[in-house]
A and B are shown apart, each in its own frame.
Chain A
Amino acid sequence: MRKPRFSRFHFNLSIVVASAAWLFAAAAPAVAQRAPWERMEAAAKLLDVAAPKTDAIRLDLPAVTQDGSAVPLTVTIDHPMTADHYIESLHLFASGNPSPEVAEFSFSPLAGEARLSTRIRLDGTQNVIALARTNRGEWLAGAREVRVTVSGCLTQAGAFDGDDFMRTRVRAPNRLRRGEAAEIRTLINHPMETGLRKDADGQAVPERILTEFRARVAGQPVIHAKFHRAVAANPYLLFHVAPGQAGTLDLEWTEDTGKTATATAEIPAA
C-alpha cells in the first residue's frame, strides 16, 4: 500500500501546539512576569487577594481585529449562580485605552448564568482584563490580548442618525424549555461620545455617554451595569435570566445627562 497516513499527524501536532499555547498563556505570566491585572493599577487596586482564581473566566474576542471601534466580547464565567454562591460583580478593563475602565456589572442570582456579551472600544493592541468577585469574597481573573490593526480599508463612519437617538430594542425568547435560562439581547442607539473626538471644525466633541443600565424581572434586580466610554457606540448587551423566572422584564438606561430610556419584554414560562 502506497497510501500514506494522512492527517493523524497534523491532528496530533495541532493539539500539541494548542495545548502548549494554552499552558503558556495560563501559567507563564504568573511565573515569568506579573499577570496583566497585576500590572494595571486600576485592576490591582480592586483585587484584595494575592492570587485570584485564573481558570474560570473565559474571554472570547477576536485575536486580531481591524475595527477597534466595536470589538465583540463575550465573558463566560464557569461558576454557579445559586442563591448562596454566585458571581456578584464583574469588572472589565482595557489596558491600553486612555482610561482603562470599560464597564462593571453586578449580578443577582436571578441572572442564572455569569455570561454576557457586549461590544467595546480598543485603542490599539492591548490586554482585555476581567475580574470577578463572588458573594463570598473570592476573586477570579482572566485576560486576553487583542491585536488591533489600522486599515484604511475600514473608514470609521461616525455618522449618527439623530432620529434614532436612544431608541431601544430588546429580544427575549418566544418559548423556553424547562430549566433553560432566558437569553436576553438588548441594544440602544447612542453615540457614546468619548470626549476625545474632534468634529469637522476641529472642536472637541464633549463627552456624552450612557452610564448605567438596569434589568429587573418581576420587580427583582437581575443585572446592573455601569458603562464607561470604552463601551462601543450603540451599546449592545446580551445576558440571561435564570430558569423559572417568567414575567415582565424591565430595562432602563441612564445617560450622564440624567436622561433615561426604557424597554420591556415578557419572559415566557417554560
Chain B
Amino acid sequence: MKKFSLSRREALKRMGAVGVGAFLAAGGLPVYGNRSHGGQRVAVIGGGFGGATAAKYLKRLSPGLDVVLVEPQKRYYTCPFTNLYLGGMREFETLGHDYRELSRLGVRIVSQTAVDVDAEGRRLRLADGDSLSWDRLILSPGIDFRWGELEGYGREAADKAPHAWKPGPQSRLLRRQLLEMPDGGTFVLVAPDNPFRCPPGPYERVSMVAHYFKTHKPRSKVLLLDAKDNFSKQGLFLEGWKENYGDMIEWVGRSNDGRVVRVNADKLEVETEFGEIHRANVLNVVPPQKAGFIADRAGVTDESGWVPVQPRTFESKQVPGIYVIGDATQAAPMPKSGFVANTQAKVTARAILADLAGEEPPEPTWTNTCYSVIAPDWGITVAGVYEVHDGELREVPGSGGVSPMGAAADFRKREAAYAEAWYAAIAQDTWGSR
C-alpha cells in the first residue's frame, strides 16, 4: 500500500508535466495538470469529517500542493456510532481513526490546537506559540457549546449530566452511568432547538438507550424533552419506537411543554418552560451550540454564532481567503452531518484549487445520507442532493427524502446493515481507515 501511494503520486506528477488541464489519471481523478500549485500552501484546521477529507482530496487533486492539517488529537473518535456504543452494539475503540494514512499521502500533520488566525497576514498561531503561514485556509472546527445559555448547564454540570455530543470521555461517562443505573430507572434526554449537530442524533440516541434497556433493564423508561415540535425523520422514529420498544420511549415536544429552561445537575433534575420538574436517574443534556471557537478568532462568524459562507465555494462571506466547512457553517438546507462535511470538503478543495489557478470554481454538488439505527435490525435514512440555485443553496427538486413509512422488515434490516457499511466506507474515504 505504502509503495502504491508513492508511485501513484509519481504517476500523477508525471501526468501533470504533460500540462493539458484536468484529465483522467490512473486513479480516475482529474489532475490539475497545468498548475502544479507547487510552493503554495493550504492549511486545514480540524481533522474531523470535513478537515480530514479536505486535506486528503487537496493532496490527491494536486500532489504538488503543500497541505498542512492542524489537529491536536492523535486519534479522532467519531460522533457517528457513539449511539451504537451507548446501546452496547459497538466497542468504543472501533470509533477511533488516526492520521497515518493521510500522512502517507503527503499531508503534513501538525498535532496542535490553532489558537488564533490572522487573516490579513495569512498566518495562524498554534498553541505552542509557533505560527504557520498559508495561502488559503480551511476551517472545519466542528462545534463548541454555549455553556450557561441553558441555565444551570455549564462545563462542571457535564461531569454529572453528560452531553456526550463530542465523543471521548463524555461518551464513556454516559455509558458507565447507563450500566450503573438500576432497572426501573429513567433516562432523560434534553434536546435543543435548531440548528445543532446531527438533527436525527437525539432520536437515534434514545433508540439505542431503549435497546440497551430492553435487553438489560426492561422496566426502565426513556423520556425525551424537546425544544422542538418537529424533528428529523419524525414519523419514522415514532413508528420504529412503537414497533421495537412499545411505550418505553416518551417524547414531549415543545408544545407539550418539552422545552427545558433549567438544569440541576446535582439533583439530576430539569425544569421545563411551564414549570414542570422531571427527575432522572441518568440525565443527558444536549446543549445549544455554535461554531468552534477558532471561527470566532478568524472573524468569520456572525451574530448567530455560525459561519455564513458563499454558497458555491464555502469561502467565508466575511473574510476572503478563509473557507469554512462542516458543522460550523450556515449551510441550510444541508444538515450538520459528517456525510455533508465530507462532501463539502470535496467541493471546497476543488474551489480552492481553481482559485489558486485563477479560474472560476467548478459547478458544485453535495449529497447527504443520514442513517439512524433504531434497533439492530431497524435502520432508517434521510437523503438529500444539494445545488446552488439563484445564488442560494437548495435541495435539488425531486431528489432526496426519507425511507418509506410502514416498510417491510427486510427493508429496515437492509438499511441497518447499510448503516454499518456506510460507516466503514466513510471512515476509509475520510481518514483512509480500513
Which residues of A approach B to under 8 Å, CB–CB?
2-7, 9-11, 13-14, 17-18, 62-67, 69-70, 147, 149-157, 159, 161, 164, 169-171, 185, 187, 189, 233-234, 236
Q: Are A150 and B333 in contact (CB under 8 A)?
A: yes
Given the interface contacts A4-B121, A11-B299, A151-B333, does A187 sit within 8 Å of B274 by beta carbon?
Answer: yes
Expressed in whole angstroms, the minimum distance between the Cβ of B12 and any Cβ of chain A is: 35
Q: Are B318 and A234 in contact (CB under 8 A)?
A: no
Q: Are B230 and A67 in contact (CB under 8 A)?
A: yes
Q: Which B205-261 residues have a C-beta within 8 angstroms of A?
A: 228-236, 238, 254-257
Expressed in whole angstroms, the minimum distance between the Cβ of B22 and any Cβ of chain A is: 32
Complex CA distance for A9 and B194, rounded to whole angstroms: 31
What 11 additional pairs, Cβ within 8 angstroms, besides A9-B118, A151-B333, A170-B274?
Answer: A3-B129, A14-B318, A65-B194, A67-B228, A69-B229, A153-B232, A155-B236, A161-B256, A185-B273, A233-B229, A236-B255
Q: Are B332 and A149 in contact (CB under 8 A)?
A: yes
Q: Are A69 and B230 in contact (CB under 8 A)?
A: yes
* Contact partners of B400 in chain A: CB under 8 A: 152
Given the interface contacts A2-B131, A153-B333, does A9 sit within 8 Å of B274 by beta carbon?
Answer: no
Q: Are A14 and B297 in contact (CB under 8 A)?
A: no
Q: Are A154 and B232 in contact (CB under 8 A)?
A: yes
* Contact partners of B383 in chain A: CB under 8 A: 152
Report, nearest first, the 4 A-B pairs whose CB atoms are least far apart.
Answer: A10-B299, A234-B255, A151-B333, A6-B116
User: Could you tell me the dominant secondary structure of chain A's interface residues?
Assistant: loop
Q: Are A157 and B194 in contact (CB under 8 A)?
A: no
Complex CA distance for A189 and B258, rounded to whole angstroms: 13
* Contact partners of B393 in chain A: CB under 8 A: 149
Expressed in whole angstroms, the minimum distance between the Cβ of A188 and any Cβ of chain B is: 9
Expressed in whole angstroms, the minimum distance between the Cβ of A144 and any Cβ of chain B is: 13
Q: Are B304 and A63 in contact (CB under 8 A)?
A: yes
Complex CA distance for A157 and B233, rounded to whole angstroms: 9
Q: Are B273 and A7 in contact (CB under 8 A)?
A: no
Expressed in whole angstroms, the minimum distance between the Cβ of B391 and any Cβ of chain A is: 11
Of all chain A residues, the one with the shortest Cβ separation from B256 is A164
* Contact partners of B257 in chain A: CB under 8 A: 169, 187
Given the interface contacts A4-B123, A7-B116, A147-B392, does A153 sit within 8 Å of B319 by beta carbon?
Answer: no
Q: Are A151 and B395 in contact (CB under 8 A)?
A: yes
* Contact partners of B116 in chain A: CB under 8 A: 6-7
Partner of A157, one of B235, B319, B384: B235
* Contact partners of B284 in chain A: CB under 8 A: none
Of all chain A residues, the one with the shortest Cβ separation from B236 is A155
Of all chain A residues, the one with the shortest Cβ separation from B193 is A72
Q: Are A13 and B230 in contact (CB under 8 A)?
A: no
